[in-house]
Amino acid sequence: MSPTAGKPITCKAAVAWEASKPLSLETVEVAPPKAGEVRVKITWTGLCHTDYYTLSGNDPEGAFPAILGHEGAGIVESVGEGVTEFKEGQSVILLYTAECKQCKFCKSGKTNLCQSIRAYTGRGVMPDETKRFTCKGKELFHFMGTSTFSQYTVVSQYSLVAVDDRAPQEKTCLLGCGITTGYGAATKTAKVEEGSTVAVFGIGCVGLAVLEGAVHSKASRIIAIDLNDEKEAWAKKFGATDFINPSKLPKDKKIVDHLVELTDGGLDYTFDCTGNVKVMRDALEACHKGWGVSTIIGVAAAGQEISTRPFQLVTGRKWQGSAFGGVKGKTDLPGIIEKYMNKQFKIDEYITHHVKLDDINKGFDYMKSGDCIRCVTDMS
């Protein structure tokens, strides 16, 4: 048994004391896991645009002070009463989309949106309504049920999956969000078919992973769209057949019209990976009449709304969304790791930057710069 089991652990964490302020490196106390919970030593965490979104204060669920972070991998340190699925020393990936396998949603076969603990994770508390983090005498909120910006975190047993311990956590942490989300959105949510045409708006980590999914699905034409010309090389490396920078089109040419012309009436599948509601509209309207399907992945700030003429839907285009790529973490992630280990799935290629936990704010700066796909943080 771990010498720390049952005791509080003092460790380092990046604390978000308030919105729009840099994270603060602090010593925090992490309480032992209660019944149904697991305490995890986080080894690596990715920085996702959604962490930045919540830190910026635009997330209606953002509660401060908190420990953010949701793209993490680590090792089980100890388990709470009644936990039989996990044991100390196991290599795990944290799941911001939980999987309990028992709730109505998990059993429906129609969605990955397990609701067993969603109400709690949205409010930044554990399922008994309390918190496990304390700093300077104050309790800190949890985030997305994961809080990976701490050297130790406590999560529900539904919010993690055990994976092959030979897989490098420096890489597999990214399966906790961005890569899985994009890949799953193409392969599981949209179910892109062989020979179909695809357009992806926003070529960050999520957009590149949609490209990877479209390539695996054998799409015939894959059009990448981004305002940053530097993304052309990235998109082509991930299998895009075409790249368009909408800001470089002639003044009288709209991106929707250009795409519809290029593809004989529009695309079979489009994806928004920007979080911009105007782009979401373009993505829908660039779909082929009668059957085109547009999938929203990007997260838009509180107060933002999407709009289009209902005629767009009446005439057969479909608008849908995807969370965590429709992927069920416990059921599906071990298989994705196996593909990665067999070199049939990219992860390493997305990593452009590394930082140590002490430099996590520098990681956020990298994330906001145009040349960062994913920055991974060494939590040691």
Ligand X SMILES: N[C@@H](CCC(=O)N[C@@H](CSC=O)C(=O)NCC(=O)O)C(=O)O
Ligand Y SMILES: NC(=O)C1=CN([C@@H]2O[C@H](COP(=O)(O)OP(=O)(O)OC[C@H]3O[C@@H](n4cnc5c(N)ncnc54)[C@H](OP(=O)(O)O)[C@@H]3O)[C@@H](O)[C@H]2O)C=CC1
The binding track of 156-195 with respect to ligand X, each residue x by CB under 6 A or -, is ---------------------x------------------
User: Which one-letter amino acid corresponds to residue 223?
Assistant: I
| Annotated catalytic residue within 11, 37, 45, 114 | 114
Residue 55 touches ligand X, criterion: CB under 6 A: no
Residue 59 touches ligand X, criterion: CB under 6 A: yes
| Annotated catalytic residue within 11, 37, 99, 106 | 106
3-state secondary structure of 200: strand
Q: Which of 302, 301, 299, 287 is nearest to 323 (CA)?
A: 299
Query: Interaction with ligand Y in 124-153: which residues (CB under 6 A)?
Result: none
By beta-carbon distance, which residue lies closest to ligand Y? 204
Residue 113 touches Zn ion, criterion: CB under 5 A: no
Binding residue for ligand Y, selected from 324, 340, 350, 366, defined by CB under 6 A: 324
Query: Interaction with ligand X in 98-137: which residues (CB under 6 A)?
Result: 113, 118
Binding residue for Zn ion, selected from 95, 114, 337, 376, defined by CB under 5 A: 114
Query: Interaction with ligand Y in 220-239: which residues (CB under 6 A)?
Result: 225-228, 231
Binding residue for Zn ion, selected from 9, 28, 47, 106, defined by CB under 5 A: 106
Residue 181 touches ligand Y, criterion: CB under 6 A: yes
Give the residue with the Cβ less far from ligand X, 97 or 187.
97
Q: Look at residue 203 and give the partner it binds from ligand X, ligand Y, Zn ion, none, a contact being a CB closer than 5 to 8 Å depending on partner kind.
A: ligand Y
Mark whether 374 is an active-site residue: yes
Tell me how far, at minimum, the Cβ of 291 lies from ligand X, in Å: 26
Q: Which of 157, 156, 176 is nearest to 47 (CA)?
A: 176
Q: Would you say how long the chain is, in residues?
A: 380
Burial 107-141 (b: 16+ CB within 10 A, else e): eeeeebbbebbbebbeebbbbeeebbbebeeeebb
Binding residue for ligand X, selected from 15, 38, 42, 48, defined by CB under 6 A: 48
Question: What does the alpha-carbon distance between residue 165 and residue 216 come to, in Å, rounded to a whole number?
Answer: 26
Mark whether 132 is an active-site residue: no
Tell me how far, at minimum, the Cβ of 258 lies from Zn ion, in Å: 30
Query: Interaction with ligand Y in 339-358: which residues (CB under 6 A)?
Result: none
Under 8 Å between Cβ of 284 and 260: no
Q: Which of 356, 364, 367, 354 is nearest to 171 (CA)?
A: 354
Residue 303 touches ligand X, criterion: CB under 6 A: no
Question: What does the alpha-carbon distance between residue 161 and residue 155 come to, in Å, rounded to a whole number?
Answer: 11
Residue 33: cis peptide before it, omega within 30 degrees of 0:
no
Mark whether 288 is an active-site residue: no
Helices (H), the chain: 49-55, 104-108, 118-123, 169-172, 178-184, 205-216, 231-237, 255-262, 277-285, 310-314, 329-341, 360-368
| Annotated catalytic residue within 29, 88, 103, 216 | 103
3-state secondary structure of 77: strand
3-state secondary structure of 221: strand
Question: What does the alpha-carbon distance between residue 2 and residue 178 come to, in Å, rounded to a whole number?
Answer: 32
Tell me how far, at minimum, the Cβ of 137 lies from ligand Y, in Å: 33
Catalytic residue list: 48-50, 70-71, 100, 103, 106, 114, 118, 177, 374
- The residues that touch ligand X, with contacts defined as CB under 6 A, are 48, 50, 59-61, 97, 113, 118, 177, 299, 323-324
- The residues that touch ligand Y, with contacts defined as CB under 6 A, are 48-50, 53, 177-178, 181, 201-207, 225-228, 231, 273-276, 279, 297-299, 322-324, 370
